[in-house]
Amino acid sequence: MTLAANASVVPVPPTDCLRLGVLASGRGTNLQALLDRTAAHQVPAQVVAVVSNRRDALALERAQHAEVPAAVFARADFSSRPEQERAIVEFLREQQVDLVVLAGYVPVIGPTLLDAYRHRIVNIHPSLLPAFGGTLHAQADALHHGVKVTGCTVHFVTTDVDGGPIVLQRTVPVLENDTEESLAARILVEEHAALPEAIRLIAAGRVQIVGHRTRILPAG
């Protein structure tokens, strides 16, 4: 899932309303940030589908409250990962999703979903990638390594886990008295700003993937 060095693509043409399919495994706070920002017309997008791999995910309750179609695709209900992802793709296509957003979705995305939404899947990760990628413990790793600055990254998803082209990043200082919990909480605040901003740029057609990088095109 790579581009030639001189290849470029604008993932989504400019649109007045980008249709989002959000995948979440847990609390769904980034989903809520998107629901709030889109409802306030701060982002030209609409969450039209929510998917989870866990029946107890709070994200499903958030979707229900917002009257957004939601479905659970638990791995145990399918004979294989490709079968599970084919079902997810069918659901997303039924809702006419333009862009897939991984917002705390734990499973690694496989080729079935990647191929169906090529260059149209983004993820939010709680570190300044490429630092502390490929882990569910990025905040703890940042503290363990003694970094002075960390943050969050919105990036396109490829077969290289947490290694796809970066859309934007926001920084957070690491304080001397930080715990994993306090650092994670401050990073999450930045996630709630970064993800809607990245989607706003994508909806405006201002994000261009060039090889392994992105270019943010000027407005207008």
Residues with a catalytic annotation lie at: 125
CA 50/CA 172 separation, integer angstroms: 29
Q: What pairs with residue 8 in β-bridges?
A: 210
- E strand residue ranges, 108-148: 121-125
Count CB-CB contacts under 10 A for residue 6. 7
- The 8-class DSSP code of residue 218 comes to P
- Three-state DSSP at 84 gives helix
CA 116/CA 125 separation, integer angstroms: 22
Reference 82, options 116, 115, 112, 121; nearest CA is: 112
